[in-house]
């Protein structure tokens, strides 16, 4: 039998199901262990897969037959748990956000480098054939010089969602609201297409939800390439898909809920949009990132979404919070 990369999953709540499904559906991967401080959450995986279960993360890290740790715990735990994995010589796939602090991300990246292990940040939208097409189209100059690139982010979450786990909607463990938790995916795409960002000015507030962090935010961006843009985001907006509007001197691309709904070029009557492979961001994106890690461990394939990639969107989000706090324009590095 050919060799498989062996995965341990840390944190067995909602998103762990998608990681485990991704591992089970990847030929080159194997589920070696699961770990959660809450024993109840391990039961299902032990019963279904007969997998080893741990309550203590340090114990899981001592196992020699684990190559990769998938970190699926509340966001505030990601930096420490990534560094612990790296020091135990385990590769890491870490859920978003990697951290709430750019210097923490730098420490995570450094620790993985120093220990000779790989770090992947979960941004499943980057695996989408549509998004990869748009990225190539823009990078190859298809829209010419970019002028206005904006993200409209409307992932509705009722108060019950925030009340469903004590860490949700808190600064300490969620690190922020609609931008840090839900919006980070679309912000990552916006900056991947049009970034990096040079400066921003922003306002945010908790308008309708009873939480510490923002349910609504508006950020005005200036990108390093000269384009401008707006991020508007709210968990109070009901039944409205996320959109990205990308405009340049040669034309426009609009993405709605992950599909191209407008590709119009000024000097071309009709633009043919290719037929893309079907892609459901969850679970396909996670499965593809898990396979990418397995092939990186087994065959040295490059990691598609690295720790460094996880840093840029975070800078925009943290800059937004700083601008709200200081009422000033914020310069990004
Ligand atoms: N990529 C995506 O689309 C996506 C979607 C949802 C959540 N997430 C991210 O995944 C992470 C988890 O979110 P969730 O919705 O699954 O949360 P959750 O609350 O459902 O699950 C978290 C799990 O971690 C366990 N846990 C807490 N502290 C622990 C510790 N010290 N050691 C071991 N286990 C511990 C909890 O008992 C719980 O089972 C968050 O960072 C979130 O931002 C990403």
The verdict on 152 and 190 lying in the same domain is yes
pLDDT tens figures, 213-230 = 999 999 999 999 999 999
The verdict on 34 and 135 lying in the same domain is no
Q: Which of 74, 79, 126, 165 has most ligand 1 atoms within 8 Å of CB, for mutation?
A: 74
The verdict on 184 and 323 lying in the same domain is yes
* Cβ atoms within 10 Å, residue 222: 17
pLDDT of 65 higher than 70? yes
Separation of CA 175 and ligand 1 centre (Å) = 13
Tokens encoding 74: 């509340």
Q: Which residues line ligand 1 (CB under 6 A)?
A: 10-15, 35-38, 41, 57, 72-75, 77, 95-96, 122, 124, 165, 181, 282
Range with lowest mean pLDDT among 58-62, 118-122, 247-251, 272-276? 272-276
The verdict on 267 and 320 lying in the same domain is yes
Separation of CA 99 and ligand 1 centre (Å) = 13
Domain count of the fold of the chain: 2
Mean pLDDT on 158-163: 98
Separation of CA 260 and ligand 1 centre (Å) = 31
* Cβ atoms within 10 Å, residue 332: 21
The verdict on 155 and 58 lying in the same domain is no
Q: Which atom of ligand 1 is nearest to the CA of 168?
A: 19
Distance CA 204, CA 187 (A): 15
The verdict on 248 and 133 lying in the same domain is yes
The verdict on 270 and 295 lying in the same domain is no
pLDDT tens figures, 292-304 = 999 999 999 999 9
Mean pLDDT on 313-325: 97
pLDDT of 1 higher than 70? no
The verdict on 44 and 117 lying in the same domain is yes
The verdict on 90 and 166 lying in the same domain is no
pLDDT of 269 higher than 90? no
The verdict on 245 and 210 lying in the same domain is yes
Separation of CA 155 and ligand 1 centre (Å) = 18
Cis peptide before 32 (omega within 30 of 0): no
Q: Which atom of ligand 1 is nearest to the CA of 73?
A: 24
Supply the CATH number for residue 111's domain.
Answer: 3.40.50.720
Supply the CATH number for residue 197's domain.
Answer: 3.30.360.10
Q: Which of 9, 10, 95, 287 has most ligand 1 atoms within 8 Å of CB, for mutation?
A: 95
The predicted structure's pLDDT at residue 162: 97
Mean pLDDT on 167-187: 96
pLDDT tens figures, 226-260 = 999 999 999 999 999 999 999 999 999 999 999 99
The predicted structure's pLDDT at residue 254: 98
Separation of CA 72 and ligand 1 centre (Å) = 4
The predicted structure's pLDDT at residue 333: 81
- Residue bearing tokens 């499965």: 287
The verdict on 287 and 262 lying in the same domain is no
Q: Which of 55, 61, 70, 72 has most ligand 1 atoms within 8 Å of CB, for mutation?
A: 72
Separation of CA 194 and ligand 1 centre (Å) = 30
Angle between helices 78-87 and 102-114 (to 10 degrees): 10
The verdict on 190 and 172 lying in the same domain is yes
Domain interval for residue 116: 5-124+282-306
Q: Name the CA radius of gyration of the chain, rounded.
A: 20
Mean pLDDT on 198-206: 97
């Amino acid at each position: 039998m050919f060799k498989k990369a062996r995965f341990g999953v840390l944190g067995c709540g909602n998103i762990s199901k998608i990681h485990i499904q991704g591992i089970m559906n990847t030929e080159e991967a194997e589920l070696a262990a699961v770990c959660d401080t809450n024993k109840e959450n391990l039961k299902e995986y032990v019963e279904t897969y007969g997998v080893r279960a741990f309550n203590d993360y340090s114990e899981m890290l001592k196992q020699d037959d684990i190559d990769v740790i998938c970190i699926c715990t509340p966001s505030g735990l990601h930096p420490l748990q990534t560094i612990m994995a790296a020091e135990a010589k385990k590769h890491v796939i870490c859920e978003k956000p990697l951290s709430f602090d750019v210097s923490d991300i730098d420490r995570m990246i450094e620790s993985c480098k120093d220990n000779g292990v790989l770090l992947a940040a979960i941004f499943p939208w980057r695996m989408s054939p549509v998004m990869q097409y748009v990225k190539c189209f823009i990078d190859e100059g298809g829209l010419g010089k970019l002028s206005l690139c904006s993200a409209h982010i409307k992932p509705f979450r009722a108060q019950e969602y925030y009340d469903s786990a004590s860490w949700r909607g808190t600064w300490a463990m969620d690190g922020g609201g609609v931008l840090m938790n839900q919006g980070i995916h679309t912000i990552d795409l916006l900056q991947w297409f049009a970034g990096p960002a040079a400066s921003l000015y922003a306002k945010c507030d908790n308008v309708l939800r009873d939480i510490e962090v923002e349910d609504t935010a508006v950020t005005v961006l200036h990108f390093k390439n000269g384009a401008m843009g707006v991020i508007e985001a709210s968990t109070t907006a009901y039944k409205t898909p996320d959109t990205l509007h990308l405009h340049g001197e040669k034309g426009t691309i609009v993405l709605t809920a992950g599909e191209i709904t407008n590709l119009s070029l000024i000097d071309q009557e009709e633009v043919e949009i290719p037929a893309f492979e079907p892609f459901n961001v969850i679970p396909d994106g996670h499965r593809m990132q898990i396979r990418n890690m397995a092939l990186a461990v087994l065959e040295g394939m490059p990691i598609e979404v690295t720790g460094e990639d996880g840093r840029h969107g975070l800078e925009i989000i943290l800059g937004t919070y700083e601008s709200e706090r200081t009422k000033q324009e914020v310069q990004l590095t």
